[in-house]
Amino acid sequence: MRAELDNAIVSFQIAYSFNYKLAYSVGRKTLKECMRMTQDEFYMKEAINEARKAEEKGEVPIGAVLVLDGEIIARAHNLRETEQRSVAHAEMLVIEEACRKLGTWRLERSVLYVTLEPCPMCAGAAVLSRIDKVVFGASDPKGGCAGTLMNLLQEERFNHQAEVVSGVMEEECGRMLSDFFRKLRAKKKAEKKREL
């Protein structure tokens, strides 16, 4: 018991020195779990939680969080079907929420975490909002504009570029999307059979 307590104290000290807000925000989680996660993984898990909310609503499971100075300042998930708005992507909604909360369109020093590589619209919004870094989980071979089809976030002709980190918790993010679309195809197939 004494050895476990000593290990927990050392783990907390390491977590605290790593990022005190991260250490504080994982108070309900075990220290061992905290130490296994990188900072990007921690925030990506929060984006995944948002994606699950989207899935519960029948939306494509994409979630995003925006972090400023180690604190999550905005959270959002895909609401395109719910709101019937083509621009209701998780990234657009999280940027809107952050701008509202901070009272500015300039989101300098912030980091956007999103479960799927941003599309052209969302990558453009990140650039125009002056987001410093974009971290995404799964690549998007059909619309990804953070390195897959093109990289709008690091286009030198723009007056702002963002650092890009790809593949954070890629397997979990990708599996969530493929499971969603597999279930959707099965549902449509079953509905088609009933119509016959």
Neighbours of 23 (CB within 10 A): 18
The answer to whether 119 is annotated as binding is yes
Give residue 174's identity as a one-letter amino acid code.
G
The answer to whether 99 is annotated as binding is no
Q: What is the pLDDT of residue 55?
A: 97
**Catalytic residue list contains 56:** no
**pTM of the full predicted structure?**
0.81
Q: What is the pLDDT of residue 1?
A: 45
Q: What is the pLDDT of residue 111?
A: 99
Q: What is the pLDDT of residue 37?
A: 75
Q: What is the pLDDT of residue 40?
A: 97
Distance CA 174, CA 80 (A): 19
Neighbours of 53 (CB within 10 A): 17
The answer to whether 160 is annotated as binding is no
Distance CA 155, CA 160 (A): 8
Measured over the CA atoms of residue 32, residue 35, residue 37 and residue 40, the dihedral's sign is positive
Q: Which of 50, 55, 59, 91 is catalytic?
A: 91
Q: What is the pLDDT of residue 33?
A: 57
Q: What is the pLDDT of residue 187?
A: 87
Strands 133-138 and 110-116, sheet pairing: parallel
All domains of the chain in start order, with CATH: 1-37 (no CATH), 38-195 (3.40.140.10)
CB 95 within 8 A of CB 66: yes
Q: Which residues of the chain have pLDDT under 70?
A: 1-36
